């Protein structure tokens, strides 16, 4: 399939921090370990190998195997789970919330990026194994962020009350969602596949974690993806020393504050740390732990502990302690033999705040890789764009800017008053000289008159442009229509559409073409013609 690319910076949809990271700006180098280049993985492998213990590998493999007991895993996935026991095996990880039916389209891009990078590393370093990992965010509690997906301009939503970690949430009420979604899908082979997938994932599983594991395995299991739910007592026990350090010394707060102070001179801070970056997780409760005068309280509850009591609770029930956004990355790197984390721009922005924290607790900081981004367009849409003479770069412009540029290009009259404004400014230069030589008190009046007349020309230009837009209304409508198709709600397609909308049209070809075309280390925004 034909493809094209545009730089992330040129899209104007990515933050200065991420664009500067991709450009390897020297001022950002203290905030990451190694830049994501193929040659840099050798040193990352060695660093991680020296810090990761065999007993952790055995526990990790056993835990994941237990989680796959009721899953029809592929031979390749089973081999990957088994390989985690061996010291020459490392992981490439992405994480995502348990969005209903995967949520935004970029869920696919994250996972395909992870799978493809694992393949690329295996080709470069054949003596090692590389396992693609999808880390399910089962401990999140922001249900409103995950309880819907968009389909053909409509919001398919699961309405219910939710408390505690979303992974433990039962699937009651999804029968009604299934009926609505089924009616929207219509008939056909691809529609039947999507109905069956939703049905088996959500109506045949009792909680959201199991449903999401089934769904991700059905889509990517044949490619060797390994799915992990880290909300497990034995895995939490491995993390207990870091939880204790957090409770007693507030290490992450102090480290991240210093990093943020250095970053905020140039960039927007993604997340700010709390004094204790842990939640207490139990019986549909997931609330912040706060400490005051030696007493540890669970926010918005009656639960409290003395110092000794909370340490006993950690020793006996490590599963009751849940890391927040600041500590979750550390938990991941403690229990996985991980080399690289693949995430979106927002995720990488908060990871860049964490390197000093990792150094303080002596855990290797992973390579950070921006996930692949894709704009999928059809052959029919490509033909429309060619007829409208719209370029790749035109597509990514804000709609008002795009329309204005195209109207000026289509107009038979010149509606750009730049020359007139420049001539006017030249005339006023002479008036300023005259006022300077005669009476300087007139300088303010001359300046005011210049501003007034420049503004007048700008207003005339706007009115003429508006008139031309009306005159060229049919062409303008076509331009707006095609951009709205490719940029729904004037945002990136991948942040709005659900995969089902494209799967309905392209079927198995969708994931197949993503696997064939996504190049994780290329560092460009892909335009894929299907």
Q: What are phi and psi of 30, to 5 degrees?
A: -65, -15
- In contact, 330 and 363? CB cutoff 8 Å: yes
Same domain for 186 and 44: yes
**350 & 480 share domain:** no
481 φ, ψ (degrees, to nearest 5): -60, -45
Angle at which helices 418-438 and 443-471 cross, to 10°: 170
Beta bridge partners of 5: 526
Please provide residue 183's backbone torsions phi and psi, each rounded to the nearest 5 degrees.
-65, -30
| Edge-to-edge order in the sheet of strand 129-136 | 226-229, 129-136, 89-96, 338-343, 367-370
Looking at the fold, whether 355 and 457 belong to one and the same domain comes out as no
Residue written as token pair 């390749």: 76
| C-alpha to C-alpha distance for 231 and 95, rounded to whole angstroms | 14
Q: What is the mean pLDDT of residues 404-420?
A: 69
Q: Which two tokens stand for residue 395?
A: 């597509």
Residue with tokens 């008053």: 417
Pair 366, 403 in one domain: no
Maximal CA-CA distance, the chain: 93
- In 3D space, the residue among 406, 500, 524, 528 whose CA is nearest the CA of residue 156 turns out to be 500
- 3-state SS string for 249-311: HCHHHHHHHHHHHHHCCCCCCCCCCCCCCEEEEECCEEEEEEEECCEEEECCCCCEECHHHHH
CA 317 to CA 310: how far, in whole Å? 10
Sign of CA dihedral 521, 522, 526, 529: negative
Q: Which residue has the higher pLDDT, 475 or 221?
A: 221
In a domain, 498, yes or no: no
pLDDT of residue 483 exceeding 60, the answer is yes
* Shared-domain flag, residues 164 and 135: yes
314: DSSP letter:
H
Report if residue 318 sits inside a domain.
no
Asked whether residue 267 carries a pLDDT value surpassing 70, the answer given is yes
Taking phi first (over 0 means left), then psi (-120 to 50 degrees means alpha), and beta for anything else, what does residue 272 get? beta
- How far CA 188 is from CA of 156, 203, 267, 417, 433, in Å, comes to 20, 21, 49, 55, 77
Q: Are residues 205 and 83 in the same domain?
A: yes
* Side-chain half-sphere exposure of 273, counting CA atoms within 13 A: 25
Q: Are residues 429 and 364 in the same domain?
A: no
Q: What's the mean pLDDT in 304-324?
A: 97
The 10s digit of each residue's pLDDT in 357-405 is: 999 999 999 999 999 999 999 999 999 999 989 998 999 999 989 988 8
Both 143 and 62 in one domain: the answer is: yes
Angle of helix 233-249 relative to helix 307-316, nearest 10 degrees, comes to: 160
Q: Are 434 and 340 in the same domain? A: no
399/471 same-domain check: yes
DSSP state of 202: I
Report residue 47 CA to chain centroid gap: 27
To the nearest 10°, report the CA torsion of 473, 474, 479, 483. 100
Structural domain includes residue 255: no
Mean pLDDT value of segment 182-188: 96
Does 501 fall in a domain? no
Query: Does 163 score more than 60 pLDDT?
Result: yes
Q: Are residues 174 and 202 in the same domain?
A: yes
Residue numbers of the domain that contains 458: 393-489
- Per residue in 337-360, pLDDT (tens digit) is 999 999 999 999 999 999 999 999
Confirm if 326 and 256 have CB atoms less than 8 A apart: yes
Label residue 430 by pLDDT band (50, 70, 90).
confident
For 92-105, write each residue's pLDDT tens digit.
999 999 999 999 99
What is the rounded average pLDDT of the residues 211-226? Answer: 98
Answer whether residue 252 is part of any domain: no
pLDDT at res. 413: 56
Residues 6+ away with beta carbon under 8 Å from 317: 233, 282
Q: Indicate whether 418 belongs to any domain.
A: yes
In the chain, the number of structural domains is 2
Tell whether 414 is covered by a domain.
yes
Q: Are residues 451 and 525 in the same domain?
A: no
pLDDT above 70 for 236: yes
In a domain, residue 264? The reply is no
Q: What is the structure's pLDDT at 432?
A: 74
**In this structure, is the dihedral angle defined by the CA atoms of residues 233, 235, 238 and 242, taken in order, positive or negative?**
negative
């Amino acid at each position: 399939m034909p493809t094209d690319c545009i730089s992330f910076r040129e899209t104007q949809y990515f933050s200065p921090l991420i664009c500067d990271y991709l450009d390897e700006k020297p001022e950002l180098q203290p905030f990451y370990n190694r830049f994501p280049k193929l040659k840099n993985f050798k040193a990352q492998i060695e660093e991680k190998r020296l810090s990761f213990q065999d007993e952790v590998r055995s526990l990790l493999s056993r835990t994941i195997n237990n989680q796959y007991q009721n899953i029809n895993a592929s031979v390749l996935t089973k081999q990957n789970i088994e390989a985690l026991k061996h010291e020459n095996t490392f992981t490439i990880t992405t994480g995502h919330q348990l969005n209903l039916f995967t949520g935004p389209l970029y869920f696919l891009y994250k996972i395909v990026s992870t799978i493809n990078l694992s393949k690329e590393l295996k080709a470069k370093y054949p003596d090692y194994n590389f396992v693609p990992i999808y880390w399910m965010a089962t401990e999140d509690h922001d249900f409103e962020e995950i309880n819907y997906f968009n389909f053909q301009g409509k919001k398919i939503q699961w309405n219910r009350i939710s408390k505690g970690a979303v992974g433990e949430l039962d699937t009651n009420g999804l029968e009604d969602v299934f009926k609505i979604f089924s009616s929207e899908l219509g008939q056909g082979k691809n529609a039947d596949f999507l109905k069956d997938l939703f049905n088996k994932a959500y109506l045949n599983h009792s909680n959201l974690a199991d449903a999401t594991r089934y769904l991700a395995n059905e889509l990517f299991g044949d490619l060797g993806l390994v799915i992990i739910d880290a909300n497990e007592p034995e895995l939490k026990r491995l993390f207990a020393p870091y939880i204790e350090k957090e409770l007693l010394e507030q290490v992450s707060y102090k480290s991240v504050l210093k990093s943020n102070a250095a970053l905020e001179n140039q960039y927007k801070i993604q997340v700010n740390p709390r004094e204790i970056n842990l939640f207490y997780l139990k019986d549909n409760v997931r609330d912040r732990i706060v400490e005051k005068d030696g007493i540890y309280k669970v926010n918005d509850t009656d639960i409290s502990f003395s110092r000794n009591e909370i340490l006993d609770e950690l020793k006996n029930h490590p599963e009751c302690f849940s890391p927040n956004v600041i500590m979750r990355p550390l938990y991941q790197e403690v229990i996985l033999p991980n080399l690289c984390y693949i995430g979106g721009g927002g995720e990488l922005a908060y990871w860049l705040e964490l390197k000093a924290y990792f150094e303080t607790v002596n855990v290797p900081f992973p390579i950070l890789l921006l996930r692949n981004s894709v704009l999928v367009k059809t052959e029919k849409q490509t033909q429309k764009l060619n007829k409208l003479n719209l370029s790749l770069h035109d597509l990514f412009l804000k709609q008002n800017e795009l329309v204005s540029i195209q109207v000026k290009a289509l107009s038979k009259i010149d509606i750009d008053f730049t020359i007139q404004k420049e001539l006017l400014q030249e005339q006023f230069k002479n008036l300023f000289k005259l006022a300077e030589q005669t009476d300087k008190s007139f300088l303010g009046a001359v300046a005011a008159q210049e501003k007034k007349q420049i503004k007048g020309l700008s207003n005339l230009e706007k009115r003429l442009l508006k008139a031309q837009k009306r005159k060229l209304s049919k062409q303008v409508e076509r331009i707006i229509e095609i951009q709205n198709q490719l940029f729904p709600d004037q945002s990136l397609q991948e942040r709005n559409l659900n995969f089902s909308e494209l799967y309905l049209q392209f079927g198995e070809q969708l994931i197949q073409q993503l696997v064939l075309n996504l190049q994780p280390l290329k560092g460009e925004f892909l335009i894929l013609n299907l």
